[in-house]
Chains A and B, each alone.
Chain A
């Protein structure tokens, strides 16, 4: 198979997923280059045509590399706009709400002091999350007001002004699992349960992925959530509360899929490679 435009995979860290995608591109006969953003310079006025799959692990490097490459004429998948929205928890919540999708009740406080009021409005137990970050890092369950006061004092001591804007969310009472749906090109590939020993069910924190039968509701929510943030390739996290009601928690634009691939007989890397080639030939 020959691609109509130059292909590239943008990644500073070649993990299971990136290696599998590159191998899939090789198997499909697609010529591509590996772009390492650590050495990437995009100069004003220099054209960079081509089609770039963004697999950079660092959010800010992924975002600015995508933006710079797009400015120079490249098409980046997912787009810089999608990475901007899905990489920020508040922007994601805002996009989900604008699309009319169910998502846990959330408040944004502009200072740690105001976050005490935000928590009172959301009610306890609640969760405080950093706006940017992944793998469940620094996501903190807040059972009561005394704990909130202590945690928010720590938040106030953090160095970045962005860290002083506090994202507060209801703690959804759920089983020991959430649901991850993979979406590529507007189609849901399947779903997994992610179960862990702690309340944060991130695979990076030891949660295990097992197959989940994809329902029409899962599909509808996940595809709509990916579209809401503008992501062509996405891992959409759904929460199911004790009554079976589903909400969209977040959308991951540079999705890790090793656990998903292990739980399904789906070659996700090949689906991503195929989508990249198809888009480049369009």
Chain B
């Protein structure tokens, strides 16, 4: 899978996080350095926030 050129920083540990070229806003990715679960808050330019904590009523 092609990666975006400018990897945004992990908001938790500041490591660069590679995201796929076909990434979408609200997609969940993982920081491979600190294992934080992150949410893609913007694709252009790419930026990340910490993903929300799992809530009691989440599921399928």
| Interfacial residues, chain A to chain B (CB-CB below 8 A) | 11-15, 19, 22-23, 34, 36, 57-60, 132-135, 137, 204, 235, 252-256
Contacts and interface: CB of A to CB of B under 8 A. Distances in A.
6 contacts: A11-B26, A19-B24, A34-B25, A34-B26, A36-B25, A134-B58
Interface in B16-60: 22, 24-28, 39-40, 51-52, 55-60
A14 B59 contact: no
Given A23-B22, A132-B56, A135-B58, 9 more contacts: A13-B39, A14-B24, A15-B28, A19-B27, A57-B59, A58-B55, A59-B57, A135-B60, A137-B59
Contacts of B57: 58-60, 132-134
Contacts of B58: 57-59, 134-135
Contacts of B27: 14-15, 19
A133 B59 contact: yes
Nearest to A257: B60
B59 A134 contact: yes
Contacts of B60: 57, 134-135, 235, 252-256
Tell me the dominant secondary structure on chain A's binding face: loop
Contacts of A135: 58-60
Q: 4 closest pairs, A vs B, by CB? A: A134-B59, A59-B57, A14-B27, A14-B26
A12 B26 contact: yes
Contacts of B59: 57, 59, 133-135, 137, 204, 252, 254
Contacts of A19: 22, 24, 27
Chain B contact residues (Cβ within 8 angstroms of A): what range?
Answer: 10 to 19
Give the interface SS of chain B, mostly helix, strand, loop or mixed. loop
A253 B59 CA distance: 10
A74 B56 CA distance: 28
B13 to A, nearest CB: 22
Contacts of B40: 14
Interface centre among B39, B52, B58 (most CB of A within 10 A): B58
A51 B11 CA distance: 36
A137 B56 CA distance: 8
Nearest to B22: A23
Contacts of B25: 14, 34, 36
A200 B57 CA distance: 18
Nearest to B20: A19
Contacts of B52: 12-13
A269 to B, nearest CB: 13
Contacts of B39: 13
Contacts of A254: 59-60
A159 to B, nearest CB: 11
B24 A34 contact: yes
A253 to B, nearest CB: 8
Nearest to A253: B60
A130 to B, nearest CB: 8
Point out which of A22, A36, A58, A135 has the most chain B C-beta atoms below 10 A from its C-beta.
A58
